[in-house]
Chain A
Amino acid sequence: MSSDGAGGADESATESDVEAAFADGPALLSYVVAGDPDAESTAEYVRALARGGADVIELGLPFSEPIAEGPTIQQAIRRALDAGMTPDRYFDLAAELSEEVDVPLVCMTYYNLIYQYGSEEGPEPFVAAAAEAGISGLIVPDLPVDESAPLKAACEDHGLDLVFIVAPTTTDERLGRMLDRASGFVYVQGRLGTTGARSDVSSETHGSLDRLAETDLPKAVGFGISEREHAREIVAGGADGVVVGSEFVDIVASGENVADRLEAKARELKQGALDGATEVPEPEGK
């Protein structure tokens, strides 16, 4: 799906592709690293995730210093870089996929790649190329709201969403500033630390969701989700979606029957999210 919603006719009811992905119930947002282990495989995996019910696909553009990632994704990024993934090849892959797959693609990467791209200084050339390739939004883990003005301006010019990550430590004052600039959805970091599959859902997740209860934008929880039960619990706790990365990246790393397993895993997680939505949320009054 191309992001031609940018500057569309009815500005008053502007809802981006990414935001629209949450319209029909709880969403599954899945992440894989572009180029892990090679671009052709990534294309196949993205199609499999879409078949399994992923509503948004985060396509990681690998950066050599991924400080927000745990070991699983660090290794995937290393594999992709070793296999020759570059921003230009990434945009080629995204352009191909955005034509084929009816799910919005979001680029997750680090700021240096955005800043460095193209001949002129600043984020504009990267955002223009991303829009051209059919990318619908950006997530930049090392770009807090305080430094985001140039990128936000470029994203607005090209009709891309800029998604901010809300951490358990985020103060109310910072949360307000982030929500002023956020679009697409709010990425709720379920726990402190780096990415990586965990065996439980953190209590910090519920606190974060409570603080966002009044927010109009959809809220998706990530960092540590790997099982159907996690997805159910998070959606039952008030989230509009779940973000799953390391679990899928682990399947890619295994190299065995990858596409089928990705599809099955996506289906399982999506079902968990749907199960959670049918529950009456308990008011977690402490």
Chain B
Amino acid sequence: MSSESKFGEYGGQYVPEALMPAIEELTDAYERYVLDNEDGFMDEFRQRLRDFGGRPTPLQRADRLSERYDREVYLKREDLLHGGAHKLNNALGQVLLAKYMGKERIVAETGAGQHGTATAMACAHLDVDCEIYMGRTDINRQRPNVFRMRIHDAEVNPVDIGSGTLKEAINETMRDWATNVEDTHYVIGSVVGPHPFPRMVRDFQSVISEEARDQIRAKAGRLPDSVVACAGGGSNTMGAFHEFVGDGDVDLVAVEAGGSGLAIDEEEELAPHSASLSTGDDGVLHGARTKLLQSRDGQILESHSVSAGLDYSGVGPELAHLADEGRVTPVNVGDDAALEAFHRLSKTEGIIPALESSHALAYLEEHPDELGDLVVVNVSGRGDKDLDTVIEESARRNLDAAPTMEVFDGEQ
């Protein structure tokens, strides 16, 4: 088991002893139900992804982007999955697995709220109790998703410690899990955490690349030159890449949040970005060895991104490994470029992308020539949840691309 728990040097199981039996139990369940389809688990999962989730999602040719960049650009439309983001693939898989394991209660953390929403939705669908931990900062910038979680009957617990973002929410969820481990499953929201989470979440998300691979062949007659996906923790990234990893001619480009710059403020223990894959150092956080934003002493730095969903100081261990191997190319774009890309796609294609996905689209704008003639961009989710942030941040930056909203802004 130990060899499978790692991706090269990355991964592993660095958690308190109280959680280890639960992790061993989960590993066993993952191998039996997910890998071996025991009791038809995967059949039921795929059936629910179709009937409840709305899979397959389309692979759409983006006509105006193709014209703009003078190449074929296709969008994998995970924003059209039920709930509005790829997160449901994983949440549905894990909540169903928890039911097969006889667990009665689900806890989960959320940053942007999409994972929390997907988990609350899956729990309502499958009739399981659900509690979500969310940082106070993220609650304030993602209120629509908080209401959606509550509407699905989930408890939402605010986390006030630290910067009140995803990192703190993960810590708090791990503490809850360690207290209630006997009847509770922790639905980790990305390809992070101790083994088997990075592998299992990737497997649930790899339906994205499985479909995209078939769809691009059917539509374009060949595999793409590149697949582009944004990377925070990395679940949509690994989902979009996994089935292409063996296709050596397909470039896999992971776009991280460059925030407001890459320089780190060691005094304040703050990184003004979330580019852990391209700039982080090897370390151990939240159960796995991976690339982290950390000080020279090993304290974890607060990260930053205009996108709450990318605002995390670590990254999945498999991505760290694939980047070291040269199979995945980590790049990054800044907050401004992401906001501009948000407006561009909304205007030119009639699709409002999540701010996360906007990073992938911004890279396409900045470096189209590096992506070849046939490009697939993963639109990991829709941007409705980000409207408040986008309007506020666009106005603050006087973004030319943004519509003017002041006259509608509730003035008496």
Contacts and interface: CB of A to CB of B under 8 A. Distances in A.
Contacts of B14: 111, 142-144, 147
Contact of A115 (B18, B284, B286, B287): B284
Interface string A167-194: 1111100100010000000000100111
Contacts of A141: 16-17
Interface size class of B (residues with CB under 8 A): 35 or more
Given A112-B294, A142-B14, A143-B14, A170 B20 contact: yes
Most chain B CB within 10 A, of A68, A86, A112, A189, is at: A112
Interface in B125-173: 161-162, 167, 171
Contacts of B285: 65, 112
Contacts of A147: 12-14
Interface in A237-260: none
A169 B167 contact: no
A64 B269 contact: yes
Given A87-B297, A112-B300, A116-B298, A194 B20 contact: no
Most chain B CB within 10 A, of A64, A78, A141, A192, is at: A64
Nearest to A82: B269
A121 B18 contact: no
Contact of A113 (B24, B175, B297): B297
A117 B295 CA distance: 11
A164 interface: yes
B13 A192 contact: no
A286 B226 CA distance: 65
B29 interface: no
A164 B17 contact: yes
Interface in A114-166: 115-117, 121, 141-147, 164-166
Given A115-B298, A144-B15, A193 B284 contact: no
A207 to B, nearest CB: 13
A144 B12 CA distance: 11
Interface size class of A (residues with CB under 8 A): 35 or more
Contact of A169 (B2, B22, B174): B22
Most chain A CB within 10 A, of B16, B167, B180, B287, is at: B16
B299 A144 contact: no
A111 B284 contact: yes
A70 interface: yes
Interface in B254-293: 269, 281-287, 289, 292
A67 interface: yes
Contacts of A74: 161
B175 A70 contact: yes
Given A64-B299, A146-B13, A171-B21, 15 more contacts: A64-B300, A65-B300, A78-B162, A112-B294, A112-B300, A116-B298, A117-B298, A142-B14, A147-B13, A165-B17, A167-B16, A168-B18, A169-B181, A189-B18, A193-B175
| Shortest beta-carbon contacts, A-B, top 6 | A116-B298, A193-B179, A167-B18, A113-B298, A64-B299, A112-B284
Interface of B: 2, 12-22, 24, 161-162, 167, 171, 174-175, 178-182, 269, 281-287, 289, 292, 294, 296-300
20 contacts: A64-B300, A67-B16, A67-B178, A70-B175, A74-B161, A112-B283, A112-B284, A142-B16, A144-B13, A144-B14, A145-B17, A147-B12, A165-B17, A169-B18, A171-B21, A171-B24, A174-B21, A192-B178, A192-B180, A194-B178
